A and B are shown apart, each in its own frame.
Chain A
Amino acid sequence: MRRFALIALPYAWLLALFLVPFIIVLKISLSDIDLAIPPYTPTLDFSEGWAGIKAFFRGLDFENFVFLTTDDLYWKAYISSLKIALIATALTLLVGYPIAYGMANAPDHWRPTLMMLVILPFWTSFLIRVYSWMGILSTEGYLNQFLLGLGLISEPLTILNTPTAVYIGIVYTYLPFMILPIYSALERMDGSLLEAAEDLGCSRLKAFWLITVPLSKTGIIAGCFLVFIPTIGEFVIPSLLGGSQTLMIGKVLWEEFFNNRDWPVAGAVAVVLLLILIIPIVLFQRNEQKQRELEG
């Protein structure tokens, strides 16, 4: 009985506030737009019995999904989101790996402090961290002032409101997600493996490529997914740093919903976004599973 209550309470909560809403989105994405509040035509009417159910299914169509393919705004936004997420993930890996490597090689008594320094930004507001780059990257911002002052450039660079700013923002905010899994993989590594590789004739660089990189692979993969998956649906960073040039699907969805008030299309956008996300999520789960098996 107690076990039943233990299971039932969180189960019911998640059913009501996670699964049901999601089914509603799915249903609305299959409905027609209507200029009312709520702005879509009503739905399943049980009072009409079987006929009502049939009418409901007849009312459903893939019109909104077809619409997504006809207007190139949407598929361009999907492609652009994927591209930005991919490049940003690669950049985050490039920046994050040396930091994780440095942490793993640091003396034992430094490591808790280094860990805290990596985690601390994660506890501070995401919005503020993205915002802090607006002042740095703008035309009259601190970076341009600094570079002009050094005489490295004669004209201020335009960085804010370009994809470059979005990449910087993503690398900055998601860096801890890349560093931590790689660090934990590197930290677990047995140092004598590198000595063995050297003993067998490897240079240090070669030993790094043949031993360290393959052994931190699970950490690299986990870190990449932890950056890639949330980046695809990212809204705050492209809105604040990307300007009108940067097309990302999270932003399109937001605008479709709040500005155009086209809920069925917004629903369809969301459903397609989730379908896109399923592949990396499944791959990520498999990587985690593999790692757990290796450890166990």
Chain B
Amino acid sequence: MTNSAPEIEDADCILVTGSNTSENHPLISSRILRAKRKGAKLIVVEPRRIHLARFADVYARQKPGTDVAWLNGLVHIILAEGWEDREFIAARTEGIARLREQVAGYPPARVEAITGISPAQLREIARLYASAARASIVYAMGITQHTHGTDNVLALANLAMLTGNIGKRSSGVNPLRGQNNVQGACDMGGLPNVLSGYQPVADPKVREKFEQAWGIEAAGGGSGSLPAKPGLTVVEMANAAAEGAVKGMYIMAENPILSDPDVNHAREALQNLEFLVVQDIFLTETAALADVVLPGSSFAERDGTVTSTDRSVQRMRRAIDPPGAARADWEIVCDVANRVQRNTQHATRGWNYTSPSQIMDEIARLTPSYGGMSYERLEREWLRWPCRSLDDPGTEFLHQGQFTRGRGLFTPVDYREPAEKIDEQYPFILTTGRIVFHYHTGTMTRRSPSLEREVHAGFVELNPDDAQQRGIRDGEMVTVASRRGKIEIKAQVTPTVSRGVVFIPFHFAESAANVLTTRALDPVAKIPEYKVCAVSVDRCQHPEVVMKCQV
């Protein structure tokens, strides 16, 4: 997030899009509702009529995958009406002329034809957002999980810069991250193109700094340098494994067999590996395929830090010991590293840590945005990165006074259709997501009796008109099929989804939504298009049931 989460409650206008906030980020959604009670205007633009939509001043329902069009439409209206922040544009940005030229192609009538949002609603959204003193954009995977996810985010950034809603309190462009340390895993270099703090692997100066710190030398079988070529992303890894280019994988506490798109393909890919090691707390669907499974620690047994969606670095503390012979995950990684190095007589420095605090000290030395972090400070201070030195109090909101690149660049983006279109055979658009009672692939929540009692099985949300037309009743089992596979799942007939759109939560292995999803990727971010694929929905044909009825 560009801004901290508590700031949201002081915004004058909040635009929520591509985020089912009250189910997936409940404590941030309560801040949004608090802002609303204080008088803020709430705009919700979502294909599903989510809980927050009930409280919205404007709720607009776009066709899935058409976000660039309505966002460009907003910019079009704001410029036509002269509602832009000219002072901010002149002082802090560049490229407005190109943006103006490009959004001329998105008049309200065309936007309605693409998205289904009426010109009157679009104008009202533009007016509310542009006239607010402090307007905040809140989004999540509904914006990013598209083949044009990067374009969606650029379009949101254009909107924020156009109205001067960035670099000040209670404004900004705020992606909500879905896991307790997904922000930290990115910050730490758990990505194929960057080391910690987003320092590019392709930059020789960056590599030299890390090579020196880690003592990587040419002698003794080592390569002598860090690899310069960016690696594979998660979906590319599965593809490479299927093709045989990747032979071995080490998976720490992730479950791609349920979370990857087109999981039948992901399963075949992992089965094709020569060697798979999985480190986890349960025998997950992925761990079941492994050659070696290493028992790690649960959150209650963990010491270390995690970084929340608003860049706050927070301490996790061990309450109990892991069960049986299970161990701390950092100790396991150290042991594997030491054993590999022993066998090659090639040693890089720093695999004899005695505590997570020592690892954080190394992170701080090598990572400018974490440069001022230490366990001692985290005991008494609230720190959000960037926090560059010991006397740096951290950063509540980003881009104050200046952007990272200097001036903010308006980047015109054009609407492109999603990768997969509906047709006669697959006439519904499937969009996937989570529900409040469960988390990601359900490894933890489905083993929590209180949560399983609330919802214990998958379901497909289907509009009442579509249900009636197909003779499907609420609670009936249906078959949902795509070009990749099919699942049987209970129908939940509800106006939450519009005609022609269905929704399935992806938590449930026995009716896994990701059997259906497509591997089509955004060309830049390499994120899969989970939010749009074409499916069919039909009543289940169970001959044995028919037989019984005849008797």
| A and B interact physically | no
Which A positions have Cβ atoms within 8 angstroms of B? none
